[in-house]
Structure 1
Amino acid sequence: MAAKGNVRIIYAALFANGAIAVTKFIASFVTGSSAMFAEGVHSVVDTGNQGLLLLGIARSKRPATPEHPFGHGKDLYFWAFMVAIIIFGAGAGFAAYEGVEKLLHPAEVEGSWINYAVLGAAMVFETIALTMAFRAFQAAREGRGMLETVRQSKDPTLFTVLFEDAAAMLGLVIAFFGILATDLTGDPTWDAVATLAIAAVLALTAVFLAIETKGLLVGEAAEPGLVRRMREAVLAEPGVRSVNELLTMHLGPNEILVTLSADFDDTLKGGELEDVVTRLQEKVRTTFPDVKRLFIEAQGRAAHREQAAAAGDVVAPV
């Protein structure tokens, strides 16, 4: 699913989290619950993160320039990586600080019915947002497992919003039980413990997102099945004897850079070779519309093997 297809989901999550954050902070101020304060920080962080994702999508659409000849597609990956850093620093950091502070200086939690009302409303909104994000994720799975889909996805908005919403729902559940335990026992320590648990959820979510988006930012190859089909399409073109090397890299969710080294029929003359290359370019770009940059090199198989061996590279099979 393209990043542009997730804009509606991001906007829905942004407005929901913004409204929920305000009510959580009001409830925390009135009742003195640190778990509710941590949830308020959580919602503020999520709201800011959705804003960053929208910024990344907008900036990634900028056209290529002499300074950035391959465009700005990776802007989305950068801002998605920033989301993970902010979740860890601002979200988990503030929640952990608040939890430790309340453990060291316990304070009575009053008017818990306000917290329950706010948590109930927040759960309704988060359920809606999570359902929308999960449906978008399911549409992109195509029969694959959840982890495999995340690992192969080149659109960070697809899994970032899903895991943010899932973490938000888990945080609400933790806050609910922390406040409930405090009510039942009269011990505010449970509220502080719930706050630290929310910090742990945020930290784990941030680490997971950082790992996934870091790979995209550095540069990941296209999905193996797509690379295989592309290789087969090239080999099917008359005049192509073998494919020496086919390298791909995602410059954005729907923008792939391809470099192709092929061994062409030695009987082809200069003009005929140019015609074959032209047909190959049209064929690849028509069959695989996500390929936005395609560079084709004509090189004999033996020469390629020698060059690869000298460079210490592994020669891919035909």
Structure 2
Amino acid sequence: MSANGGTKAIVAALLANVGIAVTKFVAFLLTGSSSMLAESIHSVADSGNQGLLLLGGRRAKRTATPEHPFGYGRERYIYAFIVSIVLFSVGGLFALYEAYHKWSHPEAIHSWQWVPVTVLVVAIALEGFSFRTAIKESNHIRGNQSWAHFVRRAKAPELPVVLLEDLGALVGLVFALFGVGMTLATGNGRWDALGTAMIGVLLVTIAFILAAETKSLLLGEGAEPKDVAAIEQAVTAGPEVERIIHMKTLYLGPEELMVAAKIAVPPCETAEDLARGINAVEARIRAAVPLARVIYLEPDIWSSAAAQAGTGAAAHTQPADAGGGPGVTPRQAGS
């Protein structure tokens, strides 16, 4: 659902931004307004960004190879990170440069004065349509999360990127309308420069937010606490496992979660019994968390040495329980 919804939101944003970029640039050529130039470059950058997101989604679907045995799901994160860099450099820094230039050499808008206002009003309507589409598609997977939490914790990067881009575009258009309107009202071109500077600061801020979130995804994020709890419950729900010694989770892509755990198992008569028990545990994990598609379970006999071996710095830990130790999840009584 997230992939399809993300693609629909990207396409809507791409179509809107291409049309807006053309009209803004024509308005700049007619009026010389720096706010219109900054906004046209912003729309061009956004159009390129949506193209990058579509390309990343396409490349992420490639099948795994011996060189990349876990597939290419994280490629979507790479292209989202590139988007943040483009938004910062092409959008934000250019707008700040243009604002400095226009502040040093302010120019009033003497001709075609109705054009920038008309273009900006139409652009706000088009961006509003794109933003509405992104909100609608995000609501399918957001659930009861706040918008801030959704942007910070979403594993599929496309929807948060489009949401922030569209929000930035709408606010930027309001800033541009403010700058152009005040310039027309006062005849002072520095209002236009001020609106351009506000657009630049806004785009740089959004770029930093996107870069921080996509950097976290690139480094590798584990499952949400509720999913971790569901996996633990699934592992210890049957007689095949006495306790979880330690466990790690990692998103290989937006729709693929890896689970690796060392589990304490009771004595088994044969290797066939052990394998059958592990298969049953894997089936319960996939039923509880369908995104858990890559599962590695290492059977062991519970001991203090086993609890410490191979945990690493990123081990999933739990508070100490009665009869266990740090990093140990005992099997529930009666299960």
What is the TM-score normalised by the length of structure 1? Answer: 0.96
What CA distance in whole angstroms lies between the structure 2 residues aligned with 1:76 and 1:253? 8
- Per the TM alignment, residue 309 of structure 1 is displaced from its structure 2 partner at its CA by 8.0
Shift of 1:139: 2.7
Provide the C-alpha distance between the structure 1 equivalents of 2:225 and 2:89, rounded to a whole number of angstroms.
Answer: 35
Say whether 1:120 aligns with 2:121: yes
Alignment of 1:124-139 (within 5 A): 124-139=125-140
Does structure 1 conserve the Cα–Cα contact (< 8 Å) formed by 2:245 and 2:302?
Answer: yes
Could you tell me whether the CA contact under 8 Å between 1:239 and 1:268 is conserved in 2? no
1:244-301: CA deviation from partner (whole Å, max 9, x where unpaired): 1221111111111110110001245322111101222233234322122111101223
How far did residue 142 of structure 1 move?
1.5
Residue 310 to residue 97, structure 1, CA distance change in 2 (3 Å): closer
Secondary structure of the residue that 2:251 maps to in structure 1? strand
Give the RMSD, CA atoms, in angstroms.
1.7
The aligned counterpart of 1:304 is: 306
Distance 2:291 2:312 in 1: 33
Report the AA paired with residue 56 of structure 2. G
**2:41 aligned with 1:3:** no
Question: What is the SS of the residue equivalent to 2:67?
Answer: coil
1:287 and 1:2 mapped to 2: Cα distance? Answer: 19
Distance in 1, Cα, partners of 2:121 & 2:151:
30
Superposed, which structure 2 residues align to 1:52-131 within 5 Å? Answer: 52-110=52-110, 111-131=112-132
Whole-angstrom CA distance in 2 between matches of 1:16 and 1:309? 49
1:272–1:43 CA distance, 2 compared to 1 (3 A): same
- Alpha-carbon distance, 1:114 to partner: 0.2
C-alpha distance in 1, partners of 2:129/2:90? 25
Change in Cα spacing, 1:227 to 1:182, as seen in structure 2 (3 Å) is: same
Quote the Cα distance in structure 1 between the aligned partners of 2:258 and 2:193.
50
Runs of 4+ residues over 3 Å off in structure 1: 308-315
Contact (CA 8 Å) 1:174, 1:194: kept in 2 or not? yes
Alignment partner, residue 246 of structure 2: 245
Partner of 1:43: 43
Instruction: For residue 306 of structure 1, report the CA deviation from its aligned partner.
Output: 3.6
Corresponding position of 1:285: 286
Alignment of 1:123-272 (within 5 A): 123-272=124-273
C-alpha spacing 1:27/1:144, structure 2 compared with 1 (3 Å): same
Q: Distance in 1 between matches of 2:313 and 2:115?
A: 67
Letter in 1 for 2:21: A
Distance 2:74 2:283 in 1: 25
How big is the shift at 1:4? 2.9
| Amino acid corresponding to residue 297 of structure 1 in structure 2 | E
Contact 2:176 2:195 in 1 (8 A): yes
Q: Secondary structure at the match of 2:242?
A: strand
Alpha-carbon distance, 1:145 to partner: 1.6
Which stretch of the first structure deviates more once superposed, 206-215 or 269-278? 269-278
SS at match of 2:62: coil
Shift of 1:95: 0.8
Q: Residue 140 of structure 1 contacts residue 149 of structure 1 at CA under 8 Å; is this kept in 2?
A: no
Which of 53-62 and 291-300 deviates more? 291-300
Question: How far apart in 2 are the matches of 1:52 and 1:309?
Answer: 38
Deviation at 1:85, TM superposition (A): 0.5
**Deviates further, 187-196 or 105-114:** 105-114
**Structure 1's 309 and 74: CA in aligned 2 closer, same or farther, altered over 3 A?**
closer
Q: Is the 8 A contact 1:112 1:179 kept in 2?
A: no
- 1:275/1:309 CA distance change after superposition, 3 Å: closer
CA distance in 1, matches of 2:170, 2:313: 51
Once the two structures are overlaid, the 10-residue window that deviates more, 175-184 or 143-152, is 143-152
Q: Work out the CA distance in 2 between the residues paired with 1:16 and 1:263.
A: 56
Secondary structure in 2 matching 1:48: helix
Q: Structure 2 unaligned runs (5+)?
A: 318-325, 330-335
Gap change, CA 1:311 and 1:70, over 3 Å in 2: closer
- Counterparts in 2 of 1:229 and 1:165: CA distance versus 1, 3 Å: same
State how many pairs are aligned: 318
Which residue does the alignment assign to 1:316? 327
Query: How far is the alpha carbon of 1:312 from its aligned partner?
Result: 10
Q: Is the 8 A contact 1:3 1:155 kept in 2?
A: yes
Q: 5+ unaligned residues in a row in structure 1: which ranges?
A: none
CA positional deviation for 1:237: 2.0
Q: What's the secondary structure of 1:155's corresponding residue? A: coil
